[in-house]
Amino acid sequence: MKLGEVSNVQISTVSSGALALDIALGVGGFPRGRIVEIYGPESSGKTTVALHAIAEVQRQGGQAAFIDAEHALDPVYAAKLGVNIDELLLSQPDTGEQALEIAEALVRSGAVDIIVVDSVAALVPKAEIEGEMGDSHVGLQARLMSQALRKLSGAINKSKTIAIFINQLREKVGVMFGNPETTPGGRALKFYASVRLDVRKAESIKVGNDILGSKTKIKVVKNKVAPPFKVAEVDIMYGEGISKEGSILDIGSEIDVVQKSGAWYSFNEERLGQGRENSKVFLKENPHIASQIETKVREYFSLNPGSVPEAEPVVDPEQDEEPAFDLE
């Protein structure tokens, strides 16, 4: 088949749930049918970004799955971010092989629109779990990830599933110059990922002496669907997640959709508030105004995230009719 015969070559996307990140990604959100890696230091907001993506998919009627290899998902926090935890498929596997087999089965079934693996560093090979504490297992995890991604990449593209892999950071020993940081799990994920996000906490958000959240920088270090190296700055508020109102104010004032005079913010000659935090509170209490500003911002950047249609199952002729294992 010739590429020109394809009816629609435009990349279908789902909003990340953060306006600033949608703009930085260049296509209005996470691309469907692609692999995304989110990495960064501890408590930087990696899982928060992934949960917002799940909430957006569910809001559009899609099905989501979360493979919790770290056994650390907080359902109460996820619900506050907008995730429908009653409809979320959750797996807490014992081994890395089990986690990736479940991921493959879900992707091939076409039943899910987004799948999150948290995290690659916690995908422990079975041989390591069954071995003694001091045993050496060189390259086992890298080999496991390499094999899994070879099997997954084609199925992910055909089923139009967004596959998000959350990863941690490690230090390379003996590096004198350059960046000593690296991600566990070998190099395969770096190659197979269409989008790689580096999430870093920048500074704390304070009101008086109380720390309410943190300003977070999300850098798009790899992007196969748009120009890379763009940076999104978002507010991650503790117990609430990414502040939608903060992104709307910052980007709106940059492109003059929201007017800023001194400390005052205004929209269509209506005062929003004095100071950024007060204006955020006003937009939260008046969502119709926030929606108007967001619509104008999306029009300015030509962002129109795609809807989530039902995924079609991927038929594997070599696969037996009966599943190799029970998902329940």
Please report, in range form, the residues annotated as the binding site.
40-47
Binding site residues for ATP, as ranges? Answer: 40-47
Backbone angles phi, psi at 124, to 5 degrees: -85, 125
140-155: buried (b, 16+ CB within 10 Å) or exposed (e) per residue? bbbebbbebbeebbeb
- Residue for token pair 């958000």: 205
Task: Show the CA angle centred on residue 13, arms to residues 12 and 18, nearest 5°.
Answer: 165
Q: Which two tokens stand for residue 150?
A: 């070879």
56: left (phi over 0), alpha (psi -120 to 50) or beta: alpha
Provide the 10 A C-beta neighbour count for residue 192.
20
Q: Which residues share a beta bridge with 201?
A: 216
C-beta of residue 280 within 8 angstroms of C-beta of residue 246: yes
Question: Tokens 């919790």, residue?
Answer: 68
